[in-house]
Amino acid sequence: MPEIAKFVNSGAATITPLLAQQVLRHLPQWKLEFTQINAPKFPHLVNQLEFLADAVEDAVDGTYKALPFVAIAQSVFALVYAHNKLGLIPVSIEDMGRADDSSVVRAVLIQNEKAFGLYAVSQGVDWRKITSEP
């Protein structure tokens, strides 16, 4: 996981508040796209992506102000990464095409577990359903 965390942190360092605002406009469409992910080896991925998208929406539009920007930036990076179907492992590779997406998302959740746990409570979301476990 340390290499994935470094990858996420490096990517998140490129995320600005302006870019987060631009991604915000795409999230409704991306959320629909994410619901179409068929990745039985990564059963939590869709719920995790939806959770990150909701957190970004609430933080960027100001509805939820307690999420640190590093968590927002990492979440935006993960969402953009999952939306981009090429990634380190192309989605077209059967059974493993979402392994990199899942790893990136899990790294974001693990690194920001406390902040996201508080966000989940504030939204009435069961954090256990958004588990950072594989």
pLDDT of residue 56: 98
The single residue listed with the structure tokens 């920007």 is 69
CB 62, CB 114: distance < 8 Å = no
Q: At what angle do helices 113-123 and 45-60 cross, to 10 degrees?
A: 80
pLDDT digits (tens, 9 = 90+) for 35-45: 998 888 888 99
| pTM metric for this prediction | 0.91
Separation in Å, CA 14 to CA 7, 10, 17, 122:
11, 7, 10, 28
Q: Tell me how many degrees the CA angle 34-40-42 measures, rounded to the nearest 5.
A: 70
pLDDT of residue 112: 97
Q: How far apart are the first and last CA of the chain?
A: 12
pLDDT digits (tens, 9 = 90+) for 47-91: 999 999 999 999 999 999 999 999 999 999 999 999 986 565 655
Does the pLDDT of residue 8 top 80, yes or no? yes
Task: Please state the domain extents for the chain.
Answer: 2-125
